[in-house]
Structure 1
């Protein structure tokens, strides 16, 4: 089957760096216009830039298709175990799903870093939701394998995944069918084999998954609470120690202040004594000066010759 030229362009654009999307889209549209493909050029111009999460899904599909195939295979195994009501198998596959979702998040960050594309925690969470939806609904699996995802998708575990406007071009299964005929047949067969009983099994599996997710969330919250309590206790101990040190320092300073006050009082008393002594000395000095002056005058009087003597 001849590949849809629009899908080919869309896969190329939606896996390229988001910052270059608009310029690349314009260039491809001009190229199609120059080649006389006016309708194709118009459809290329109408292509929508993917969200960060959708771009990361497309980039993983382009850079690591084998990793995305593992998502499809695990989803098929999960649906089969749900149909067979194999609880032990479901638990085993649920653990594998969590490990695979964590790996997808790591690899998406690595690809984003290689493309120099910022990828927020929220975008990584949406990426994981998209791959989890692919494990629930075969149509969603084809959407993430299309390489043309425009927005993130999610599954509530009950009804079909909403794919309206999620894929840039046509059927979400085009690339999936071209890449793996066997896998595509298995997905289609599973989709045709879905019955009310299988839907009930999926609902039960989804409820079990939500229960496990809730327990895991509560376990993490409890661990975080214990860690916060430990941190608070350490902080309290450090604060108590600092408070004791501050109290000791305060007591030492108060003692020193009292000692300085005592020294100041003694210094003031000594200053008063010295002031009084200085006053006495000044008074004695003044009296002595007066006595000396009187003595000099008296001496001068006796040193002068008597009248009528030569």
Structure 2
């Protein structure tokens, strides 16, 4: 029987190769199938998989549709890191130039693949794609995540410290990608611990005041932890639904922008076609007038020819009669 990491990576591999609009229904169906098979933990994990952002989907698409492009990025990243370790200044400068050129070319290739599938890739999304490809060169874990095509969000790396790959890739634990330590994590991941509800504060105060037993306190503590776990699971579900909705809004906005641009393009073509059609109509009217004049000239020429033929016939007849009279003489 497959292990949990194998089940998760297999499910994620299939889901993150899909078009954005197909992701959520396919994810929910996969989770339901796993639950029907009795794999509750795998079903819960799959159900919590996040829909990829537009930039992450574009990079995933590149990894699935044109993996050689991704390999070029990762291989150049290895050479770049080796030059850094060796403090090879000239080599670093040359590789930096190559890195910029390759990132721009590969990002353009990823964009064209997305456009071929009817997706809109704005300048902001393209910048995130380039940032992710740059991170794949700088950070080994980022390179592995990009190669796998399992991104849920864009990556960013500066070369100082590790990139936060675990928060931007699906099933990081199944892939062996560890989260950042507390001293490495960016401040945006910090959060305040909420105060205990007033009722729980009073309950604890009464328990302490009355000298409640350790067993009772432990039981209350377990109940509180269970309630907090349930609330955290509810918050996680809400966050996931919000993230899915935000992704849908962003995708719809991008699609609307692309549709508006397409409308503008088609309108320009329509205006040009109308102008060409009017020009053709004017030329057709001119040709009709020219044809009418030619027809009139032709009719006159035909009449003149017929008159000349009659004159020739008369002259020929008179000649023959004169020749006949001259013969006996």
TM-score, normalising length: structure 2: 0.50
**Residue 33 of structure 1, CA deviation:** 2.6
Q: Is the 8 A contact 1:126 1:152 kept in 2?
A: yes
Superposition pairs of residues 37-48 of structure 1, within 5 angstroms: 37-48=39-50
Distance 1:161 1:67 in 2: 21
Q: State the partner residue of 2:17.
A: 15
Superposition pairs of residues 19-98 of structure 1, within 5 angstroms: 19-98=21-100
Q: Which protein is bigger by CA-based radius of gyration?
A: 1
**Residue 151 of structure 1, CA deviation:** 1.0
- Pair 172,37 (structure 1): closer, same or farther in 2 beyond 3 Å: closer
Q: State the partner residue of 2:124.
A: 122
Q: Secondary structure at the match of 1:4?
A: helix
Distance 1:75 1:7 in 2: 25
Cα deviation code 1:143-169 (max 9, x no counterpart): 212321111111123222122411110
Distance 1:132 1:173 in 2: 21
Q: Is the 8 A contact 1:54 1:151 kept in 2?
A: yes
Distance 1:83 1:153 in 2: 23
Distance 2:94 2:134 in 1: 16
Q: State the partner residue of 1:153.
A: 155
Task: Say how many residue pairs are matched.
Answer: 175
Distance 2:120 2:174 in 1: 26
- Pair 63,140 (structure 1): closer, same or farther in 2 beyond 3 Å: same
Query: Given the alignment, which residue of 167, 170, 176 partners 1:168?
Result: 170
Q: State the partner residue of 1:279.
A: none
Distance 2:176 2:59 in 1: 16
Segments of 4+ moved more than 6 angstroms: none
Distance 1:172 1:31 in 2: 20
Distance 1:24 1:141 in 2: 27
Q: Secondary structure at the match of 1:113?
A: helix
- Pair 145,123 (structure 1): closer, same or farther in 2 beyond 3 Å: same
- RMSD over aligned CA atoms reads 2.1
Q: State the partner residue of 1:178.
A: none
TM-score, normalising length: structure 1: 0.52
Give structure 1 stretches of 5+ with no counterpart.
176-310
